[in-house]
Amino acid sequence: MSVALLMGSDSDFPRLEPCVKTLRELEIPCEARVLSAHRTPHQVVEFVESAPKRGVRVFICAAGGAAHLAGVVTAHTDFPVLGIPMDNPPLNGLDALLSTVQMPGGIPVGTLGTGSGGPVNAALLAARILALSDPALAERLARYRSSMTKKVLERDAALQLKLKG
């Protein structure tokens, strides 16, 4: 089982790298492509329709502006589609957020937040979906969450020491 990450522009990739890093950390294979809902619509449909044969079970789509990529993808698959609205100028992602979250009834896209949390949360949500049928992945997710807890508690302990000194 794998995840497909599609982005509307290669300029989005630096902000999406944490998504790929998180998927790799959880040992989830990931395909990443630059495909545009408006500039390469036929290639998007071709990619989405052929993806299940390659083991793709969840799509993550990142786009800014009109942000139609996730909607186009979900129109061509019954697999889960997660949308990351990119916080690009001139509206700092508000346009992308509204385009991604306001899908018509029957065309679901799970929408993540704009900003740096969106890509990591998309990877973690995709992992949770896949973990429903993969106990080994569920265990890796539990360890990931435990490590987050440990890091926060270590930071708190360091702060408490600093405040005492």
Asked if the structure places residue 83 within a domain, the reply is yes
DSSP assignments along 51-114, one per residue: GGGGTEEEEEEEE-TT--HHHHHHTT-SS-EEEEE---TTTTTHHHHHHHH-PPTT---EE--S
pLDDT at 113: 95
| CB of 115 closer than 8 Å to CB of 122 | no
**pTM over the 0.75 mark:** yes
Q: Is 160 domain-assigned?
A: no
152 in any annotated domain: no
Kindly state whether residue 156 falls inside one of the protein's structural domains. Answer: no
Residue-number span of the structural domain to which 39 is assigned? 2-134
Q: Please classify residue 125 by burial: count the beta carbons closer than 10 Å to its beta carbon, then call 0-12 exposed, 13-18 middle and 19+ buried.
A: middle
Give the total number of structural domains in the chain: 1
Per-residue model confidence (pLDDT) at position 165: 80
66 within some domain:
yes
For the stretch 109-164, pLDDT in tens is 999 999 999 999 999 999 999 999 999 999 999 999 999 999 999 999 999 999 99
> Do the domain assignments include residue 17?
yes
Q: How far apart are CA 62 and CA 29, in angstroms?
A: 18
Distance in angstroms (rounded) separating the CA atoms of residues 5 and 20: 8
As a whole number of angstroms, the distance between CA 74 and CA 82 comes to 9
Q: Is residue 157 a part of any domain in this protein?
A: no
Q: Which pLDDT tens digit goes with each residue over 12-50?
A: 999 999 999 999 999 999 999 999 999 999 999 999 999
Is 145 inside a domain boundary? no
CATH number at residue 7: 3.40.50.1970
In this predicted model, what pLDDT tens digit does every residue of 74-118 receive, in sequence order? 999 999 999 999 999 999 999 999 999 999 999 999 999 999 999
